[in-house]
Amino acid sequence: MYNTKNKMLEQELKDIWNNASQTAKISIETNQLVEELNNKVSRIQKKIRIRDIREMSASAIGILLFDYLLYEIPFPITKVACGLAIAWFVFVILKFKKSKTQNIKTDFSLSLTEQLNNQKTMMAQQANLLDTALYWYAIPPFIMNFIFILGLENPADYNWTNSIAAKILPLSSNLKIITLTGLALFYAFTFWVNKRALTKDVKPIIESIETMQQQIKK
Partner 1 sequence: MYKEKDDNFFEEILERNKYKIYRICNIYAVNPIEPQDLFQEVIFQIWKSIDKFEGKSSVDTWVYKITINVCLRSKMKFAKSNDKTDRFESIHFTRIDKEINTSEQEKFNYLKECISTLNETDTSLIALYLDDLSYTEIGVITGLSENHIAVKMKRIRKKLFECITPKIKC
Positions touching partner 1 (CB under 8 A) are 6, 9-10, 12-14, 16-37, 40-41, 106-116, 119, 201, 204-205, 208-209, 212, 215-216, 218
Residue 154 or residue 215: which is nearer to partner 1 going by CB? 215
- The CB-of-54 to partner 1 minimum distance in angstroms stands at 20
Q: Which of 210, 184, 69, 200 is nearest to 127 (CA)?
A: 200
d(CA 100, CA 125): 11
- The CB-of-2 to partner 1 minimum distance in angstroms stands at 8
Residue 74 or residue 204: which is nearer to partner 1 going by CB? 204
d(CA 184, CA 145): 10
- The CB-of-192 to partner 1 minimum distance in angstroms stands at 19
Chain-centroid distance of CA 53 in Å reads 13
List all residues 6 or more positions away from 56 whose beta carbon is below 8 Å from its beta carbon: 93, 96
Residue 49 or residue 97: which is nearer to partner 1 going by CB? 49
d(CA 158, CA 155): 5
d(CA 88, CA 54): 17
Cα dihedral 36, 41, 46, 52, rounded to 10, equals 160
Residue 64 or residue 110: which is nearer to partner 1 going by CB? 110
- The CB-of-46 to partner 1 minimum distance in angstroms stands at 14
- The CB-of-85 to partner 1 minimum distance in angstroms stands at 35
Residue 32 or residue 161: which is nearer to partner 1 going by CB? 32
